[in-house]
Amino acid sequence: MAGTCESLTALFGRILLSAIFLMSAFGKIADWSGTTHHMEEKGMVATSFFLAGALALEALGGLSVLLGFFARWGAAALIVFVVAVTSVFHNFWVEDGPARMNQMQHFMKNLALTGGLLMVAALGPGGFSFDHRRRTDQEVRPATARAERPVMVG
């Protein structure tokens, strides 16, 4: 029972953690020009290139964490993304008044996201995940069965 409870908790944590990245990726697709404009306002160049990269990282990393499929790699990619975005878009120390508080809240939210992603990177996705299933399948098959699989040459 404890294993099931931990696995369910990890699953719900991955769902909640990945939601912000998947929703953000969808928002970027839905408002590509508005997002590039916002990036330009922050002094970024090659905005279409960086926006495509951000979209790929958020969508693929978010799906990776959500499904628990290479979740540690997905979490690591999202950590790199969050650190880069936070330093460019949520640099509260250059703001004044209400804008400073707003950007500080976004900065702190991103710190919390990074903490959650670090936990996935360190501990893995939990029991209800493709990573767990893949690992379990490899442990169940005898070593000779794994070694005898035919190699596909393309």
**Mean pLDDT of each 10-residue bin along the chain, 154 residues long:** 85 97 97 96 94 97 97 98 94 90 94 97 93 81 57 56
C-alpha torsion sign, points 82, 88, 92, 97: negative
Q: What's the rounded Cα separation, in Å, for the pair 116 and 139?
A: 28
Residue 26 contacts residue 66 (beta carbons within 8 Å): no
pLDDT of residue 145: 55
pLDDT of residue 121: 97
pLDDT of residue 136: 77
Tokens of 67: 């499904």
Helix (H) or strand (E) holding 44: none
pLDDT of residue 138: 77
pLDDT of residue 104: 92
| Exposure string for 93-128, b = 16+ CB within 10 A, e = fewer | eeeeeeeeeebeeebeebeebbebbeebbeebbbbb
Tally DSSP H helices, then E strands, for the chain.
7, 0
Nearest 5°: the CA angle 89, 95, 101 is: 85
Return the number of other C-beta atoms located less than 10 Å from residue 26's C-beta. 14
Nearest CA-CA partner of 78 in 108, 46, 112: 112
